[in-house]
Amino acid sequence: MQSGSRHEAYVMKHFPNALRRTVPTFEEAWDRFVLGEAMFFFGDRVAILQRMAGTQCCMLAGKPIVDASFFSQGVGFALPHTDLSARVSETAGQSSTSQRLTLKTQLENGLSALIADGTYEDISTRYFNENIF
């Protein structure tokens, strides 16, 4: 696993006697796992699903670990405090009502539409082989 990661901290707390092999980066840890140098891989679920997509290298085991003291409350978007969509509209010389919506509202509407029309499920299945959230 990646040294210094929240995943290593979790293992150190809950499995202090476990034999760990750590490397500097997620990518190096994944490569070593795929080459058979480790019996299992513990890391970020979304990143693992991305690397597993379209391969037969491995499979997920167990349920996601959701310990918020190590892994926060999930995956999300970070948005600036200011409304960038207004600046983008002004720069482009556009002023329609839909372009004056806040960036947050635009993202919420976009994600809702993706879920409603099945696109979200299609992307999850196609690229991650399962629901990512």
Q: Are residues 6 and 54 in the same domain?
A: yes
pLDDT digits (tens, 9 = 90+) for 118-129: 888 888 777 776
- What average pLDDT does this structure show over 79-98? 52
How many domains does the chain fold into? 2
Residue 62's pLDDT is what?
A: 79
pLDDT surpasses 50 at 99:
no
Q: Are residues 98 and 113 in the same domain?
A: yes
- Where in the sequence is the domain holding 132, given as residue range(s)? 76-133
37-42's contacts with Cβ under 8 Å and 24+ in sequence apart are 41/1, 42/1, 42/7, 42/10, 42/11
Whole-number Å distance between alpha carbons of 105 and 79: 11
- What average pLDDT does this structure show over 95-106? 59
Q: Are residues 33 and 61 in the same domain?
A: yes
Q: What are phi and psi of 31, to 5 degrees?
A: -60, -45
pLDDT digits (tens, 9 = 90+) for 4-57: 999 999 999 999 998 888 999 999 999 999 998 888 899 988 889 889 888 888
Q: Are residues 64 and 84 in the same domain?
A: no
pLDDT surpasses 70 at 97:
no
- Bridge partners of residue 2, in order along the sequence: 23
